[in-house]
Amino acid sequence: MSRLLAALRSPGARRRASAAALCTDARSELLQPCAQAPAAPRAKVSVVGAGAVGMACAVSILLRGLGDELALADLDAARVRAEVLDLQHGAALARLPAVVGAGDLSVTAGSRLVVLSAGARQREGESRLALLQRNVAVFRGLVADAVRLSPACTLLVVSNPVDVLTYAAWRLSGLPPARVLGSGCNLDTARLRFLLGRRLGLHAESCQGWVLGEHGDSSVAVWSGAQAAGQPLAALGGDPARWAQLHRDVVAGAHEVIRGKGYTSWAIGLSVADLAESLLRDLRRVHPVSTLARGLYGVEADVFLSLPCVLGGGGVADLVKIRLSPDERARLRKSADTLWAVQKELRF
Ligand SMILES: NC(=O)C1=CN([C@@H]2O[C@H](COP(=O)(O)OP(=O)(O)OC[C@H]3O[C@@H](n4cnc5c(N)ncnc54)[C@H](O)[C@@H]3O)[C@@H](O)[C@H]2O)C=CC1
Ligand SMILES: CC(=O)C(=O)O
């Protein structure tokens, strides 16, 4: 108590205390309270790791009008405070819900969706898998707490290498596999659709096709099912080698952006908001996201990789059994082997 009194003796504290009293008076003059307690948030979303990617996810989620509270958590408490304030300053301009933040995970309690984007990022020329040891250590310190604070949440992993970290998050969380997914190839697929559209003179939305497997160098473009303007790509003819080049451009795309600006952020932010919408609104849309692939397409180990998944309120509701050509199936298997070779060295 005496410390409180001493603190109130400072002129700054006295000014703040009298401003707060004035606000309380003005509030009671303006509003007649009805509800006993503020309504509990129905769809709280948390983003853990408020760096370039986390903030792109946060802004994309807010601008889609998803969730009724957004929480940001980052080790760097000063930075997260500044990010929260910067967003709050836009509340009147974009009808934003409550945005809160802190330097620890307590602020994420009661979330329906927790996006994990904390950790190190790739350096120029570095593969995603090379990040593994650094980011597994970060996840060891985060995942169990995140789930303890939000036992009903779905975890959406974004940090790289996203597939192996999704496996790590599943193991560390104790959640059923349906409630732990990785953003995986939702981004690679968006890149493919953009490049295909640019080649054909169409908007990306009018081009369909999956990139599956590892989010990274061993990913697989499923040309056998690709379509443009509702037409199977296979029926349009053209040189298959030129389509294959598009997939190489997808794989090179992230490196190209990292060379230019040091990291990628906007497209992954939009991709995560797209996934968040399916999860929070129980839409049952199909997305290629990283999920437990054991028992499918010849994968026998506990490997997480991207397959087309039906996403709803409880996470991954169903897996789509797509027909792959023998070559695509072999490539998917090889992608799983690449991930397993790295993953089997992990110890928990
Ligand atoms: N899956 C995907 O498609 C993509 C994944 N990424 C990955 O996302 C991750 C984040 O990338 P950036 O935002 O560019 O990095 P960044 O360095 O800008 O931000 C990372 C943030 O994580 C925070 N952090 C580190 N340890 C933490 C902990 N224990 N608790 C809370 N916060 C912690 C840091 O303070 C920092 O603010 C990287 O692993 C990157 O490779 C990036 C782009 C696309
Ligand atoms: C960095 C990364 O994983 C991406 O932009 O695809």
Q: What is the pLDDT, as a whole number, of residue 222?
A: 96
The whole-number pLDDT of residue 171 equals 97
Query: Would residue 234 count as lying in a domain?
Result: yes
Domain boundary among 138, 163, 182: 182
Alpha-carbon 17 to chain mean position: 40
Neighbours of 157 (CB within 10 A): 29
Question: Which ligand lies nearest the alpha carbon of 157?
Answer: 1
Q: Which atom of ligand 1 is nearest to the CA of 271?
A: 3
Q: Atom 31, ligand 1: which residue's CA is nearest?
A: 74
196: nearest Cα among 243, 136, 254, 162: 243
Do both 226 and 213 map to the same domain? yes
User: Residue 260: how many CB atoms within 10 A of its CB?
Assistant: 10
- Closest ligand to C-alpha of residue 290 is 1
Number of domains in the chain: 2
DSSP 187: H
Does residue 275 have its Cβ closer than 6 Å to ligand 1? no
Under DSSP, is residue 72 helix (H, G, I), strand (E, B) or coil?
A: strand
Ligand nearest to the CA of 121: 1
Mutate to test the pocket of ligand 2, among 117, 121, 163, 264 (most ligand atoms within 8 A of CB): 264
249 within some domain: yes
Is 57 part of any domain? yes
SS3 44: strand
Kindly report the CATH number assigned to the domain that includes residue 97.
3.40.50.720
For residue 226, the CA-to-ligand 2 centroid distance in Å is 23
Sheet with strand 315-319: strands edge to edge: 98-102, 69-73, 44-48, 113-116, 154-157, 180-182, 285-292, 304-312, 315-319
What are the tokens at 58? Answer: 């946060």
* Cα 264 to averaged position of ligand 2 atoms, centre (Å): 6
Name every residue whose Cβ is closer than 8 Å to that of residue 143 and which is 6 or more positions away in sequence: 116, 155, 168, 169, 172, 173
In this predicted structure, what is the pLDDT of residue 9? 64
Kindly state whether residues 190 and 336 are assigned to the same domain.
Answer: yes
Query: Within this chain, do residues 195 and 328 fall inside the same structural domain, yes or no?
Result: yes
CATH number assigned to the domain comprising residue 324: 3.90.110.10
Q: How much distance in Å is there from the Cα of 14 to the middle of ligand 2?
A: 49
Are 192 and 311 in the same domain? Answer: yes
What is the Cα–Cα distance from 89 to 39, expressed in whole angstroms? Answer: 23
On whether residue 37 sits in a domain, the answer given is no
Contacts of residues 224-233 at CB distance under 8 Å and 24 or more positions apart, as own/partner, are 224/323, 224/324, 224/325, 224/328, 225/322, 225/323, 226/196, 228/196, 228/197, 228/200, 228/202, 229/200, 229/202, 233/196, 233/209
C-alpha of residue 133 to centroid of ligand 1, in Å: 14
CA angle, corner 64, sides to 62 and 66, nearest 5? 65
Same domain? 288 vs 258: yes
For residue 340, CA distances in Å to 99, 175, 293, 306 come to 39, 21, 11, 14
The residue whose C-alpha atom lies closest to atom 2 belonging to ligand 2 is: 254
Closest CA to ligand 2's atom 5: 254
The answer to whether 133 and 158 have CB atoms below 8 angstroms apart is no
Q: What's the first-to-final CA gap in the chain, in angstroms?
A: 46
Q: pLDDT, tens digit, for every residue of 179-193?
A: 999 999 999 999 999
Pair type for strands 285-292 and 231-232: unpaired
Residue 306: beta bridge partners? 213, 290
Residue 281 within a domain: yes
Protein residue closest via CA to atom 29 of ligand 1? 138
Residue 81's contacts (CB-CB under 8 Å, 6 or more residues apart) are: 101
Q: Mapped to the 3 state alphabet, what secondary structure does 289-313 carry?
A: EEEECCCCCCCCCCCEEEEEEEEEC
pTM equals: 0.92
Q: Which of 125, 150, 182 is the last residue of a domain?
A: 182
The finding on whether 51 has its CB within 6 A of some atom of ligand 1 is yes
Domain shared by 147 and 200, yes or no = no
Q: Do 123 and 264 lie in a common domain?
A: no
- How many angstroms separate the CA atoms of 99 and 118, rounded? 18
Residue 96, domain extent: 44-182
Same domain, 214 and 135: no
pLDDT of residue 126: 81
Q: Do 176 and 191 reside in the same domain of the chain? A: no
Same domain for 324 and 270? Answer: yes
Distance 254 CA to ligand 2 centre (A): 5
Please check whether residues 168 and 287 belong to one and the same domain: no
* Å from CA of 162 to ligand 2 middle: 9
Query: Ligand 2, from 187, 271, 289: best to mutate by most atoms within 8 Å of Cβ?
Result: 187
Q: Could you report the per-residue pLDDT of 21-30, keeping only the tens digit for each? A: 777 789 899 9
Low-confidence ranges of the chain (pLDDT < 70): 1-9, 12, 38-41, 238
Q: Which residues line ligand 2 (CB under 6 A)?
A: 122, 128, 160, 187, 254, 264, 268
The ligand minimizing its distance to the Cα of 257 is 2
State which of 123, 157, 182 marks the end of a domain.
182
Judge if the upstream peptide bond of residue 176 is cis by omega within 30 degrees of 0: no
ipTM field: 0.99
Both 285 and 192 in a single domain? yes
Tell me if 227 is assigned to some domain.
Answer: yes
Q: Where are the alpha helices (DSSP H) in the chain?
A: 2-8, 11-30, 52-63, 77-88, 91-94, 132-149, 162-173, 186-200, 240-261, 266-280, 326-343
Q: Which active-site residues does the annotation give? A: 215
Residue 230 lies in a domain: yes
State the Cα–Cα distance between residues 72 and 56, nearest whole angstrom. 12
In a domain, 198, yes or no: yes
What's residue 8's pLDDT? 56
| Of residues 214, 226, 228, 225, the one with CA closest to residue 305 | 214
Supply the pLDDT for residue 40. 66
Q: Is the CB–ligand 1 distance for residue 138 below 6 Å?
A: yes
**Nearest Cα residue to 49 out of 40, 41, 58:** 58
